[in-house]
Amino acid sequence: MQKRKLGNSNLEVSALGLGCMRMSFGDAPIGDKQEMIAFLHKAVERGVTFFDTAEVYGPFTNEELVGEALEPFKGQVVIATKFGFKHGDNGPAPGSGLDSRPEQIKRVAEASLKRLRVEAIDLFYQHRPDPNVPVEEVAGAVKDLIQEGKVKHFGLSESDAPTIRRAHAVQPVTALQSEYSIWWTPIEAEILPTLEELGIGLVPYSPLGRGYLTGKIDASQTFASNDIRSRNPRFTAEAIKANQGVIDLLARIGQERNATPAQIALAWLLAQKPWIVPIPGSRKIERLEENNGAVNIQLTPTDLSEIKAAMAQITVVGDRY
């Protein structure tokens, strides 16, 4: 597995990371715990060193799973987790409201350290911008944690360019996590140039369009009620059918390269900038190995121009949420 550095930081990780959310949250059925621990061990054996989780996934169960599975590999792997949701009776949950007050950030850090079984959190993201807390206060709280040795790197997620600049002025931002893929590119206008200027890495989530860009989903597919895609406008039968042109494009380029649509979609991301590290989610070893194969595919400038021209002719149907 090749390595990459996230921006100007000294944080070196595998060129492809692994999104761990679906191992215990947000999908049906969720993975068996022992199977998922074995899977995470196989991912490390295959050179993956960058793992993404969050306290809100579960809540808490995903951090516990990742912490238990990766404890034998301390010092060899990088674990990213997140703060930023309000805690209710059962912990934080998406939709429960945002809470990035400094005192809350510090409480979350202490609890995450225990669940992840580490002395310091490698990369600590604000999960979503909190309109009620100035980002300078958020950055200041993480700066305190870094000075205390409890956090190594500060990250943001889904933040706009002005917010990134304001945070970076208080505590250098190592990475931005944001949705980015061949069919979701709005961050190219302002955010990517800002990251390049400031020396911040990009960690794209949903790099395979929540599975659509694998080419394995068709209009007849149905999703369980607790699968996020059952409520996603891009996964209605009409949208799946309407967006087939994207898959056809990936498949055509893949045929020339003896590669799958998923591998071309990931290779496209890797070709954009050397400081981009996608984190496809996976629970099956064959999917992990397929994804990892993308690092060996070199798309030429001609390929990239062809993809750009072809995508400009395709109107992607359905909002991402």
Binned at pLDDT 50, 70 and 90, residue 232 comes out as confident
Distance between alpha carbon 116 and the CA centroid of its chain, in Å?
18
Concatenating the DSSP letter of every residue in 12-49 gives EEESS-EE-GGGTSSSSSPPPHHHHHHHHHHHHHTT--
Instruction: Tell me what the mean pLDDT of segment 25-42 comes to.
Output: 88
| Higher pLDDT pick, 155 / 234 | 155
Q: Where are the alpha helices (DSSP H) in 14-160?
A: 33-45, 61-70, 102-116, 135-147
Cα angle 168, 169, 170; round to 5: 90
The pLDDT tens digits of the residues spanning 242-279 come to 778 888 889 999 999 999 999 999 999 999 999 999 99
Task: Give the residue extent of every domain in the chain.
Answer: 3-210+273-295
pLDDT of 31 above 90: no
- Has 180 been annotated as catalytic? no
pTM (two decimals): 0.94
Q: What is the pLDDT of residue 311?
A: 83
Q: Which residues on neighbouring strands pair with residue 276, listed in sequence order?
A: 202
Q: What is the pLDDT of residue 233?
A: 77
> How far apart, in whole angstroms, are the C-alpha atoms of residue 35 and residue 31?
7
Percent of the chain with pLDDT over 70: 98
Q: Which residue from 156, 165, 171, 166 is spatially nearest to 196, judged by alpha carbons?
A: 165
The pLDDT tens digits of the residues spanning 184-198 come to 999 999 999 999 999
Instruction: Tell me what the mean pLDDT of segment 46-61 comes to.
Output: 96
Least confident of 51-65, 116-130, 197-211, 236-250: 236-250
Around Cβ 194, how many Cβ atoms within 10 Å? 19
Average per-residue pLDDT in the chain?
A: 92
127 contacts 16 by C-beta, under 8 angstroms: no
Q: Given the structure tokens 């944001």, which residue do they identify?
A: 178
Instruction: Tell me what the mean pLDDT of segment 31-48 comes to.
Output: 96
Around Cβ 11, how many Cβ atoms within 10 Å? 21
User: Active-site residue among 57, 125, 180, 205?
Assistant: 57
Concatenating the DSSP letter of every residue in 188-230 gives GTTHHHHHHHHT-EEEEESTTGGGGGGT---TT----TTSGGG
CATH topology of domain 3-210+273-295: TIM Barrel (3.20.20)
Q: What is the pLDDT of residue 194?
A: 98
Instruction: Tell me what the mean pLDDT of segment 92-117 comes to.
Output: 95
| Higher pLDDT pick, 211 / 24 | 24
Concatenating the DSSP letter of every residue in 156-185 gives EES--HHHHHHHHHHS-EEEEEEE-BTTB-
Residue 272 has, within 13 A of its CA and on its CB side, a CA count of: 26
pLDDT of 199 above 70: yes
Cα angle 159, 59, 31; round to 5: 105
Q: Which residue from 36, 35, 44, 41 is spatially nearest to 1, judged by alpha carbons?
A: 44
Q: What is the pLDDT of residue 236?
A: 77
